[in-house]
Structure 1
């Protein structure tokens, strides 16, 4: 990336990384998609996600999978890592974490399409795998979201 392309990115290349101690959506940063004329998938696998149970305070562990079709903006990966780290001391149910992550990324990027899955490890003998998705309203991506939600986990 050229200096112009990385202008405004605070976390990428920083040697003095400050890790947030609580939920920090302000950590998210974006850059311009250089291939806006193409539809393509970007996928992040985040196997070390942790958050806290809002009732017991016990840690929850998950792999968070984020897949999206970018439009004008894309999420910068180090900022995403720091953002996801910010859930470490944050109390939320599994379903809330997945939906909050998706909504924060929609606010940041306004992607054509996005889906977020949380593969949470079992607690009390039950594992929970919440899934949320979104497609831009009035576009074929909204139809894609409806289709993938309907076909999810079949």
Structure 2
């Protein structure tokens, strides 16, 4: 990893108080010739209901197969923290996260799942998947979406 690719590591942490996809940073994958999975768990994700302003809590999981670029974990933490004052429905949160990470890295495959705590007696667990079009990862995304639980 080239230090010049990253600006957040080793510096005082500045927590953004608004949705901030621009804090995401990527670095060069040292093993692009091999498929492997990177998994992140964020058990303290918080966003706000866009209607009531009440906080919503979730565990966000992110799995991806990198190509040339990978997301730097501190920038990912700061990015996910930026949702704390962002009003968005659960489904919107996971789709925004996936879209922002695709834009950053252009991974071969990615999936983002939100395991939100119950609100009004109902839990919501949105899942979104993406596989690079025209590749075997596109079929993987479709299979994971439809084989990952009840539908």
Report the TM-score range of the alignment, normalised by the length of the smaller protein: over 0.9
Aligned partner of 2:63 among 53, 62, 67:
67
TM-score (norm 2): 0.97
Which structure dedicates a bigger proportion of its chain to helix?
A: 2
Q: Residue 112 of structure 1 aligns with which residue?
A: 108
Q: Residue 141 of structure 1 aligns with which residue?
A: 137
The gaps in structure 1 that reach 5 residues or longer are: none
Q: Residue 13 of structure 1 aligns with which residue?
A: 10
Measured in 1, the distance between the counterparts of 2:14 and 2:98 equals 23
Q: Deviations over 1:60-90 (max 9, x none)?
A: 0000000000000000000000000000000
Q: Residue 80 of structure 1 aligns with which residue?
A: 76
SS at 2:84 equivalent: coil
Q: What is the CA distance between 1:6 and its match in structure 2? A: 1.9
Q: What is the CA distance between 1:25 and its match in structure 2? A: 0.1
Pairwise CA RMSD of aligned residues?
0.8
Q: Residue 27 of structure 1 aligns with which residue?
A: 23
SS at 1:7 equivalent: helix
The gaps in structure 2 that reach 5 residues or longer are: none
Q: What is the CA distance between 1:55 and its match in structure 2? A: 0.1
Q: What is the CA distance between 1:8 and its match in structure 2? A: 2.9
After superposing on structure 2, the runs of 4+ consecutive aligned residues of structure 1 that deviate more than 2 Å are none
